[in-house]
Chains A and B, each alone.
Chain A
Amino acid sequence: MIYSIEIPLLILLLMTAAGAIIVKDLISSVFILGTYSFLLALVWAWLGAVDVAFVEAVVGAGLATVFFLLTLFGTAPKDIRIRRSAPPLTAFVGLPVLGLLLLYAAEDLPKFADPHSPASLHVSPAYLTNSLKEMDTPNVVTAVLMDYRAFDTLIETAVIFIAGLACALLLRRNQE
């Protein structure tokens, strides 16, 4: 059975996602969220997207957990516990309907790893065949990120730089 590992992983993913929302203690919620990111990294690795799995494990399970914990320790202790009201009735009715609609729409998507899907016919064959010859880089993902799509990566780097600058401006305003 081809889904023998994916289905338990996805069930664990759903359980940790629900647990991070349901649990009352914010610190437990942060740790469950880290577990969720790690399981998501396992799913990416199982699907063959090793680079995405790497970044998800490092950023989601490592860095984001540290940021959340530092923020929690910076806030007053009375904010640690969550008081949340019951979800409205429209959410109970509307969200399952939305899920069913999405499942219905998902039938039109191409099969996983289908060689005739539009995504694997458009530019990916050119990337896969040319990247080693053109830029001496066996890892196609790096070649796409850093050369074919270098502008995207440049703007992403600028976005992260601006995020760090904004954090410094907001949080270090009263220092010195």
Chain B
Amino acid sequence: MIHAHDSIIVRTTSRILIPLIQLFGLYVLFFGQLGPGGGFAGGVILGTSLILGILVFGPDAPVCRLASKVIHGEGVGLMIFVGVGGLCLIGGGEFLNYGNLDIPWIDSAARRRSLGIVLTQIGVAVDIAVTAISIVISLSLINSEESHD
């Protein structure tokens, strides 16, 4: 079972670090079109910030209760990805052909494709982050089970 960490240095450092890690994760996610990064790395960084919170503040802290609510949303990221593909179908094109996203105020196909890339990257990031938190919570549950014996 994961307990809250005793050391005040670790707690204070991670209280400062967790928002910075989340900010960096969002940067990596949304600037993946301009530089290195993207949905996969951004999702892992976002998930890792919550995992750090679980490991340091223990299972009763607000961040961990947020994480245990988040794991019920498994599959939301996949639904975002497939939903964007379905919107392309509705717009009259092929599945996942972002040029056919039917958005009235964006007129050029390149901008529409760029928006499609951003939306699917958000889907990938949500999927990866939720899966990482879910696996960590599963592993910590098996620990608590063994300690009851």
Contact = CB atoms under 8 A, between A and B. Distances in A.
Interface of A: 50-51, 53-55, 58-59, 62-63, 66-67, 70-71, 73-74, 76, 133-139, 141-143, 145-147, 150-151, 153-154, 157-158, 160-161, 163-165, 167-168, 170-172, 174-175
B142 A171 contact: yes
A70 B136 contact: yes
B75 to A, nearest CB: 6
Contacts of A133: 110
Q: Which DSSP category, helix, strand, loop or mixed, fits chain B's interface?
A: helix
Contacts of B48: 58, 62-63, 66
A6 B45 CA distance: 28
B38 A164 contact: no
Given A135-B110, A154-B81, A161-B131, A172 B138 contact: yes
Contacts of A160: 127-128, 131
Contacts of A175: 141, 145
Contacts of B39: 146
A136 B139 contact: no
Contact of B38 (A51, A138, A172): A51
B111 interface: yes
A142 B141 contact: no
Interface of B: 28, 32-41, 44-45, 47-48, 51, 55, 71, 74-75, 77-78, 81-82, 85, 96, 98, 109-111, 113-114, 116-117, 120-121, 123-124, 127-128, 130-132, 134-136, 138-143, 145-146
A76 B40 CA distance: 33
Contacts of A145: 38
Contacts of A170: 138
A133 B109 CA distance: 10
Given A54-B36, A70-B139, A139-B35, A164 B113 contact: no
B113 A171 contact: no
A164 B74 contact: yes
B134 A168 contact: yes
Given A139-B33, A172-B138, A174-B145, A153 B124 contact: yes
A143 B32 CA distance: 10
A135 B98 contact: yes
A153 B39 CA distance: 10
